[in-house]
Amino acid sequence: MDSAVVVRQPPERGYWNPVTETMPREELRGLQWHKLRTSLAHARRGSPFWRARIPDGIASLDDYIARMPILTREEIVSAEATNPPYGDFPSCDPRLAIRHHQTSGTSGRPPVRTFDTARDWAWAADMWCTGLYGMGVRPYDRAAVAFGYGLFIGFWGLHYALEKIGVATIPTGSFDSEGRVRLLLEQGITVLACTPTYALRLALTARQMGIDLARESEVRIVVCSGEPRPEATKQAIADAFGAFVGDSAGMTEAATIFMFECIEEPGGCHIIESDFIEEVLDPDTLRPVPYGETGVRVMTSLGREGIQAFRYWTNDLVVKRPWSECECGRTWDWYEGGIRGRQDDMRKVRGVFFIPVMVEDVVRAFPEVDEFQSSLRTIEELDTLVVRIEPRPDVPSEQYGELAERVGDQIKRQISLTPIVEVATPGGLPRFEMKARRFQDERSRPATHA
């Protein structure tokens, strides 16, 4: 990148729903309890699965958290398998559905299948509106959604939310990367929505086309979702587009997003606490962890009538911070660094806890590197981290060794593991549009998980 980084006027502050976004905490807790009671009663009436599971006489939020059992992905899949596609899990007649979605299945496990009623889908879009408006998206914007529009829920809700806000919205599911770059310029796109991985791919494609998106496009906001996005990746995207980069996260089991990054950029994402109860638990003791400590998200959704989720074990690793530490005026707590990774991705390597996204946070800080992969291998009977980096085409080959050494030193300094760093030829590593798969555990003995 040119040292003179282009930064456009920052987005303006605003609230999609000022009442709930700035509600005093005690009132917010009352709102959650009201919605939870309504949701539990609906689930008891309509779902055989939940009827057998919800304890009698839940009297408060604290009582709910103390007595309601945790729900796992495996239990959802098992409940749906009794009578596919949804089994005895739904809380209303699936014939009311207007949409069907399912998880991506990238892990090789059976997908979770869900549907949404018209009421569900209006609510899901409204959650996206909350996040998009909080990032500064306004009716005068023009948006491009770089998404495949398949069964995976992905950016479907975002698309409808953009239209609900009043944004001119262009789906680009049939475009290749060069076509999308040209569209950004020809249509005067101001908002781009895609995964962090694909934002970097578009920036790379533009460079190869001789286009500097930070100077030649009008993109002012990049909305990212779909995978963990460390700070170094956020900065690389911001530099490439000269834009504000807002993080968000959702899941098929929730039908929509549950958090988003506001324009104050506190270092993480606000939880949409008007519509989600989020607990952070120690994965071993299942007890709540305090602000500032890492734990696993347990999610309760308060807005869906078809497929409901109560105390769902998400496997997402998060660190919760108090609302007062952000200056945006919202009274919603936030997750520092967004989603840190997955609890089932956590490994212990030579006594060190390791999450694959840690490698990305190091490698993305090197502007000479276009792409990377990492793996754990057994080399001479020792667990070893192997990182493959792909230099930018303008990096002279005689500098590859020095670059690999610098990357390795920084990984050792930040992660406390000494890696083997291999150099791939430019263009030699795979690219991804949705969830990137850059990590493999290739060890010859069973993995040691945290």
Q: Where are the beta strands (DSSP E) in 18-151?
A: 97-102, 113-117, 142-145
Q: At what angle do helices 118-134 and 156-165 cross, to 10 degrees?
A: 70
Query: Which of 237, 146, 255, 161 shows the shortest CA–CA distance to 196?
Result: 237
Contact 155, 163 (CB under 8 A): no
Q: At what angle do helices 231-241 and 196-208 cross, to 10 degrees?
A: 40
What DSSP character marks residue 435?
S
Q: Please determine, for residue 42, whether its predicted confidence score (pLDDT) is greater than 70.
A: yes
**414 φ, ψ to 5°?**
-90, -30
Q: Please determine, for residue 410, whether its predicted confidence score (pLDDT) is greater than 50.
A: yes
Q: Please determine, for residue 106, whether its predicted confidence score (pLDDT) is greater than 60.
A: no
Q: What is the pLDDT of residue 341?
A: 85
Contact 157, 255 (CB under 8 A): yes
> Higher pLDDT residue, 383 or 92?
92
Distance CA 435, CA 442 (A): 20
Least confident range from 44-48, 200-204, 228-232: namely 228-232
> Higher pLDDT residue, 444 or 177?
177
Q: What is the pLDDT of residue 433?
A: 66
Give the pLDDT band (50/70/90) at residue 3.
very low
Residue with tokens 């390791």: 354
**101 φ, ψ to 5°?**
-140, 160
Q: Please determine, for residue 7, whether its predicted confidence score (pLDDT) is greater than 60.
A: no
Q: Please determine, for residue 129, whether its predicted confidence score (pLDDT) is greater than 90.
A: yes
Distance CA 277, CA 32 (A): 7
Q: What is the pLDDT of residue 10?
A: 76
Distance CA 340, CA 232 (A): 13
How many residues comprise the chain? 450
Peptide linkage before 266 cis (omega within 30 of 0): no
- pLDDT digit string, tens, across residues 275-287: 999 999 999 999 9
Q: What is the pLDDT of residue 310?
A: 98
- pLDDT digit string, tens, across residues 22-34: 999 999 999 999 9
Distance CA 223, CA 194 (A): 6
Share of the chain above pLDDT 70, in %: 95
Q: Please determine, for residue 450, whether its predicted confidence score (pLDDT) is greater than 70.
A: no
Q: Please determine, for residue 449, whether its predicted confidence score (pLDDT) is greater than 70.
A: no
Contact 443, 427 (CB under 8 A): no
Query: Which of 297, 237, 257, 315 shows the shortest CA–CA distance to 130?
Result: 257
Exposed, middle or buried: residue 198 (CB in 10 Å: 0-12, 13-18, 19+)? Answer: buried
Biggest CA–CA distance in the chain, Å, is 71
Contact 193, 217 (CB under 8 A): no
DSSP string covering 245-257, please?
A: EEEEEEETTTTEE
Q: What is the pLDDT of residue 424?
A: 94
Contact 313, 73 (CB under 8 A): yes
Coil vs helix vs strand at 274: coil
- Domains of the chain listed by start with CATH number: 1-343 (3.40.50.12780), 347-441 (3.30.300.30)
Distance CA 383, CA 339 (A): 26
pLDDT, mean of residues 126-155: 95
Question: Kind of pairing, strands 142-145 and 168-171?
Answer: parallel
